[in-house]
């Protein structure tokens, strides 16, 4: 069963987020009390490019299985450390198609795409950015630093909440960086 193992938020624009017992998601905006909440972009690089563009990165999710993989490479990463709001277990987030919906607690999140790893990962731990990148059998880049989504239905999300997936109508579009 897919579930939430940690939730995090931060009111300031810092790389890591503080863990909490629960978070509240606001429809069309993101995580209440988080610096990235908003209808329009809040990530600094995107604000500089065009502050009026829609915020497709309201909620950041990472699978805990990534932390175990990183540990085998010598990295110590815990929930919230690399900026995610929701840490999951038992679900292959990276295999979800664009537009998949996750029902978690009382909220619904629509997946918009992949987090594009940035240099801040190396500032957290040297070499971490490269460690969250890989190549598939055809040489295509695989970004493992989590997925991003928007809040379709607001509600509370707590540690231990079950995650249910609703796939969009076929044909499915693979996740791309947002």
53 class by beta-carbon count within 10 Å (0-12 exposed, 13-18 middle, 19+ buried):
exposed
Nearest-CA neighbor of 97 among 82, 76, 112, 119? 112
In a domain, 172, yes or no: no
CA distance 21 to 7: 7
Range of the domain at 27: 3-166
Q: Is the pLDDT of residue 10 over 90?
A: yes
Instruction: Provide the domain count of the chain.
Output: 1
pTM (two decimals): 0.96
Q: Is the pLDDT of residue 7 over 90?
A: yes
Q: Is the pLDDT of residue 155 over 90?
A: yes
In a domain, 177, yes or no: no
Q: What value does the mean pLDDT take over residues 38-65?
A: 92
Q: What's the pLDDT at 43?
A: 80
In a domain, 119, yes or no: yes
Q: What is the CATH number of the domain that holds 70?
A: 2.40.33.20
What is the residue whose two structure tokens read 């995650």? 163
Query: For the sheet containing 22-26, what is the strand order?
Result: 30-31, 22-26, 155-158
Q: What is the pLDDT of residues 109-140, one digit of tens each?
A: 999 999 999 889 999 999 999 999 999 999 99
Alpha helices in the chain (DSSP H): 44-49, 64-72, 120-124, 128-131
Q: What is the pLDDT of residues 69-112, one digit of tens each?
A: 999 999 999 999 999 999 999 999 999 999 999 999 999 999 99
In a domain, 175, yes or no: no
In a domain, 86, yes or no: yes
Q: Is the pLDDT of residue 46 over 90?
A: no
In a domain, 178, yes or no: no
What is the average pLDDT value for the chain, to the nearest integer?
96
In a domain, 89, yes or no: yes
In a domain, 145, yes or no: yes
């Amino acid at each position: 069963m897919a579930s939430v193992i940690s939730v995090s938020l931060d009111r300031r624009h810092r790389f890591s987020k503080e863990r909490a017992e629960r978070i509240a998601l606001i429809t069309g905006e993101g995580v209440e009390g988080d610096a990235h909440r908003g209808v329009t972009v809040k990530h600094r690089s995107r604000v500089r490019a065009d502050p009026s563009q829609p915020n497709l990165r309201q909620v950041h999710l990472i699978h805990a299985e990534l932390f175990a993989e990183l540990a085998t490479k010598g990295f110590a990463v815990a929930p919230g450390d690399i900026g995610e709001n929701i840490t999951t277990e038992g679900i292959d987030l990276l295999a979800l198609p664009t537009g998949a919906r996750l029902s978690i607690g009382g909220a619904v999140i629509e997946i918009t795409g992949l987090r594009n790893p940035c240099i801040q990962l190396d500032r957290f731990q040297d070499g971490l950015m490269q460690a969250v990148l890989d190549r598939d059998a055809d040489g295509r880049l695989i970004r493992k630093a989590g997925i991003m989504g928007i809040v379709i239905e607001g509600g509370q999300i707590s540690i231990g909440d079950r995650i249910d997936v609703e796939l969009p109508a076929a044909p499915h579009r693979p996740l791309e960086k947002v």
